[in-house]
Amino acid sequence: QVQLVESGGGLVQPGGSLILSCAASGFSVKFGVIGWFRQAPGKEREGVLCIRNYDGRIYDVDSVKGRFTISRDNANNTVYLQMNNLKVEDTARYYCAADRRTYYCAGDDWRHYVYANRGRGTQVTVST
């Protein structure tokens, strides 16, 4: 059974940074793909970044380009989302998702895919 547990969310001022963690069990972060998504109240789910684990290729969206990055720790089977220069509009519930289909992190379509497994998420609030 795949379990994904996010942590690291919280309240941060604009311009601040946070690191979110996604600890996986039943799924190796060395294979498949991991995606980070977010959803704010009243808004649609938004893909943030994904990593294709077999080659380390990363895909992101324009709204976070240059500010967010994704990395993984194979030894601890954990994927991280480093968020810098946070903005008020980054406020959302962030969750990680995993899928064994490698094409679920490619091109622009990955943002719309519903991954086979996802965690419950962690809240990120950017506010003064």
14-54 pLDDT, tens digit each: 999 999 999 999 998 888 999 999 999 999 999 999 999 88
- 7 and 122 Cβ atoms separated by less than 8 Å: yes
Instruction: Please give the Cα distance from 105 to 33 (Å, whole number).
Output: 6
Task: State the pLDDT at residue 108.
Answer: 87
Beta pairing partners, 9 = none
pLDDT in tens, 72-124: 999 999 999 999 999 999 999 999 999 999 999 999 899 999 999 999 999 99
List C-alpha distances in Å: 31 to 46, 50, 62: 23, 13, 26
Task: State the pLDDT at residue 29.
Answer: 87
Task: State the pLDDT at residue 54.
Answer: 87
Instruction: Please give the Cα distance from 89 to 53 (Å, whole number).
Output: 28
